[in-house]
Structure 1
Amino acid sequence: MSGHEEGLISQYVSKIQHLAVRAEEGKDVTSEVENTVKEAVNHFRIVQSSDPYANLLAFKGRLSIFASVVHPSQPAYRRTLEHAANACPSDIK
């Protein structure tokens, strides 16, 4: 079993980014973000080619990094990424 699965992480980060764009357009995407995070975590649990906890850490870390570099003119985009990172559980079982 390897560390994290790059393609898997990118897939879910991309979904959150698309929701962040909708948030910038004024849509309430809170529940969709939370559902996407749950979907990601469930996927991390069942994937057998990589460590679920490493996937969780990589996902949360990528969201946090992306949120930290969002331009100040896009506050809803930043808040969406931050919300997704904060919605990640601290552990995966």
Structure 2
Amino acid sequence: MQSKVDCGLVLQYVRKIQLLAMTADFGVDVKPEIEAIVNDACKYFLNTAGDDACTNIRILKNELTYQANLARKTRHEYQNALNYAIALVGLSEV
């Protein structure tokens, strides 16, 4: 059986969330958009990746966590936005 782990697609979702998180630094409420992206990603993986859906979702969460840890401590809103996405992805893992 062929693996359906798609790191490229995971990174596309991460980049979308990062771009939104950058706008959070300017006071924009990005939570609804982040929710939509996380929901889209998780639904896509669950519908197309079969047994590898959890792996893709875990990779998404790990990459977001990595990016949040790289962010400067002065970029609170950026980090908050990424942490919000991480929390949403964590709910999808249940």
TM-score of the two chains, using structure 2 as the length reference: 0.88
Structure 1 segments of 4+ aligned residues over 6 angstroms from their partners: none
> Using the alignment, how far apart are the partners of 2:49 and 2:73 within structure 1?
39
Residue 39 of structure 1: SS of its match in structure 2?
Answer: helix
RMSD, aligned CA: 1.7
Closer/same/farther in 2, CA of residues 48 and 3 from structure 1, 3 Å limit: closer
Q: CA deviation at 1:23?
A: 0.5
Number of residue pairs aligned between Structure 1 and Structure 2 = 91
Aligned identity (percent) is 31
> Using the alignment, how far apart are the partners of 1:71 and 1:13 within structure 2?
18
Q: Structure 1 or 2: larger helix share?
A: 2
- Unmatched 5+ stretches in structure 2: none
The reply to whether residue 90 of structure 1 matches residue 93 of structure 2 is yes
TM-score of the two chains, using structure 1 as the length reference: 0.88
Residue 28 of structure 1: SS of its match in structure 2?
Answer: coil
